[in-house]
Amino acid sequence: MRGRDNRTTAIATAILFAPVAMFINGQDVSVKKGEPFTMYVNAPTVAQSPNAVPAPITPAAPPAVAPASFAPASVVPAAPPQSLFTFANGAQAVGTLISFDGSSYTVSTAKGMRQFKKAAIVSIHALTATPVAAATAGK
């Protein structure tokens, strides 16, 4: 028993419906605020919404320190968290984010307190602290 040859029907159907299929779009996706989702990318990428307001970086509580007579010589006080600010003109600044009022960031830098406009900033990256061994005097 042999089946019927449907090649002509398949070709005619494709010719009729292919132009219509080009105008069919998928639906827009809405992600609710705070809802997690997974993205797959093929290169290191920083995802940043144009309307997103980065969460302020709050300084960590200072560590409990024993009285000076009991503190080992290698204890180094924790530095406040630092961020790298990259601007649209390619300039960069490193500092501690103090506040954000919706349009500008207040940042404590090595040169003092600075105000950066939100529109001028391309990205903000938290810098990780590198442990530093304290030098021991007299050894």
- Write out the chain's pLDDT in tens, 139 residues: 677 888 888 888 888 888 777 777 777 777 787 777 776 767 666 666 656 665 565 665 555 555 555 555 555 556 678 888 889 898 898 888 888 888 888 888 888 899 999 888 888 888 865 544 444 444 4
CATH architecture of 54-61+76-130: Roll (2.30)
Taking the C-alpha atoms of residue 113 and residue 97, their distance in angstroms, rounded to an integer, is: 10
Provide the residue ranges of all domains of the chain, joining segments of one domain with +. 54-61+76-130
Q: Is 118 helix (H, G, I), strand (E, B) or coil?
A: helix
pLDDT of residue 109: 87
Q: Are strands 104-109 and 112-117 parallel, antiparallel or unpaired?
A: antiparallel
Taking 3-state DSSP, the helix, strand and coil percentages for the chain, each rounded to the nearest 5, stand at 15, 25, 65
Q: What is the pLDDT of residue 139?
A: 42
pLDDT of residue 13: 87
Listed residue (81, 80, 87, 78) closest to 115, CA to CA: 87
